[in-house]
Amino acid sequence: MLEERPRARPTVQVDDDSVKVTEWRFPPGAATGYHRHEMDYVVVPMTTGNLLLKGPEGESTAKLTAGQSYARSAGVEHDVINANEYDFVFVEVEIKK
């Protein structure tokens, strides 16, 4: 049986020929839903805390720190879940080629 979770809330801030910038807000326990990144991307955490990642290789925990960005290449597949007891926010910058 699939676990029902609240959904993370995306707000697109910029979407032009070069980039797509989305703010993601996660209430406690909220998830993006399983997805595949079609573009290279950068994540800028606005909150410090843990995110649970569920992907093809299993589960892992990402410890994010506010203001400490990271980048990933296109092709990443996962579900991202707020593992904190408080809201979690990050900004995702997708790079269009």
CA 22 vs CA 1, 17, 28, 37, 43: distances in Å? 31, 15, 19, 13, 10
pLDDT tens for 9-51 read 999 999 999 999 999 999 999 999 999 999 999 999 999 999 9
Q: Which domain holds residue 39?
A: 16-92
Instruction: Give me the residues paired with residue 81 across strands.
Output: 31, 52
pLDDT band, very low/low/confident/very high, at 97 (cuts 50, 70, 90): confident
Q: What is the CATH number of the domain that holds 67?
A: 2.60.120.10
In single-letter form, the type of residue at position 17 comes to D
Whether 88 is in a domain gets the answer yes
- Is 2 contained in some domain? no
Q: Is the pLDDT of residue 3 over 80?
A: no
How many domains is the chain built from? 1
In a domain, 63, yes or no: yes
